[in-house]
Amino acid sequence: MPRLFLSVLLACVLGLASTAHAADAPDAFEAYLRPPHPPADGFAPMPDLSGARPGSEVRALAHGRVAEVREGGGSVVLEHLYYENHALLRARSEYSGVDGVVLHPGALVTRGQTLGRVGAKSRPAVTLQAGRRLSGSEARRFLATREKLPLPAEEPSLLLVSHEDFQLRLYAKGREVVRKEVGFGQAAGAKQVRGDNRTPKGMYFVTQKVRGDIPGPYSAFYGGHWIRVNYPNPWDAERGVASGFIDAKTRERIARDWAARKNTEASTRLGSGIGLHGWAGEWTLAESGGRLSWGCVVMHTPDIASLYDQVPEGTMVVLF
């Protein structure tokens, strides 16, 4: 009896610990949408401080948070968060040879905010880290290609779709209004090429909506609802160039049309025709494993029927 009692007690303790751990697990949607400090809406160009006069202002490249103040206040390191494709990334900028710094670690700064001034005997410099320390030319290119950055939480309409959680959430200006179960392509992982039956990961926009009879040989599988997104996006296009699937001109067209929230190139080896739709009948995660489509996001038909009117064309869709 004592041994049986101890076994039952241990099982209960382990069960409670497992439940507590699950309860403490971070919410992927909230972690993505509400980072520890305000994300950058863009980066300013790299300043040329080589000929800066003493007393000239040294300004922050982007919104961020003070990570360190070094050398008795002569060097400031900022941490920046920014969205790129479906990821929330981090970068650091360091401003050295600065006098008059009054900021402290943890303080929030905004783009263009004065951090200090060029000292009379100092050699001012700005360096950038994004995964590693960037050279001067790499830093200038990094900043130039991120002059304007998305802020998903400020979108009037935003769909976040988690591959791992098999869940979709709709937000209106950062406020959650819908939460639904979803399924994905028959093959796991992010889409790479046409016909791989995978669902993409990335940032896209709704470009087309159709309700009723969907034309084509697979019309029965749409559940009477189709919400198309503009896959491929610029990051898919970069991958396509690297793989030899598309050329630089096609990449440029894809980037331009994606930024305009229009349909992008549909005839390359990257594939196309990605969106959200219903299904031919009832389905469950337990029976299907959530692996249903040829690459689209699948919803229960009653769910997409109720979602359809809440998602206007131009809505940002992040599959992560």
* pLDDT of the residue at 1: 40
Average pLDDT, the chain: 92
Strands in 75-84's sheet, in edge-to-edge order, are 108-109, 64-70, 75-84, 87-96, 125-129
User: 47-60: buried (b, 16+ CB within 10 Å) or exposed (e) per residue?
Assistant: bebeebeeeeebbb
* pLDDT of the residue at 24: 64
* pLDDT of the residue at 5: 38
Residue-wise pLDDT for 204-225, tens only, equals 999 999 999 998 888 889 999 9
pLDDT above 70 covers a percentage of the chain that reads: 92
Active site residues: 277, 296
Residue-wise pLDDT for 12-67, tens only, equals 433 434 444 445 678 999 999 999 999 999 999 999 888 888 899 999 999 999 99
Please, what is the end-to-end C-alpha distance for the chain in angstroms? 50
* pLDDT of the residue at 6: 37
Domains of the chain: 57-144 (2.70.70.10), 155-319 (2.40.440.10)
CA distances from 217 to 20, 40, 214, 221, 244 (A): 48, 45, 9, 9, 31
Q: Is the dihedral of CA 83, 144, 137, 36 positive or negative?
A: negative
pLDDT of residue 4 exceeding 50, the answer is no
Taking residues 194-205, report their average pLDDT.
98
pLDDT band at 80; cut points 50, 70, 90: very high
Query: Which is more confident, 70 or 107?
Result: 107
* pLDDT of the residue at 218: 85
Residue-wise pLDDT for 110-144, tens only, equals 999 999 999 888 789 999 999 999 999 999 999 99
pLDDT of residue 186 exceeding 50, the answer is yes
Between CA 40 and CA 38 the distance in angstroms is: 7
Helix H or strand E encompassing 79: strand 75-84
pLDDT of residue 315 exceeding 50, the answer is yes
Taking residues 233-253, report their average pLDDT.
98
Between CA 54 and CA 47 the distance in angstroms is: 15
Mention every residue, 6+ apart, whose C-beta is less than 8 A from residue 80: 39, 40, 43, 61, 62, 63, 64, 90, 91, 92, 93
Angle value at C-alpha 25, between 178 and 299, nearest 5 degrees: 30
pLDDT of residue 239 exceeding 70, the answer is yes
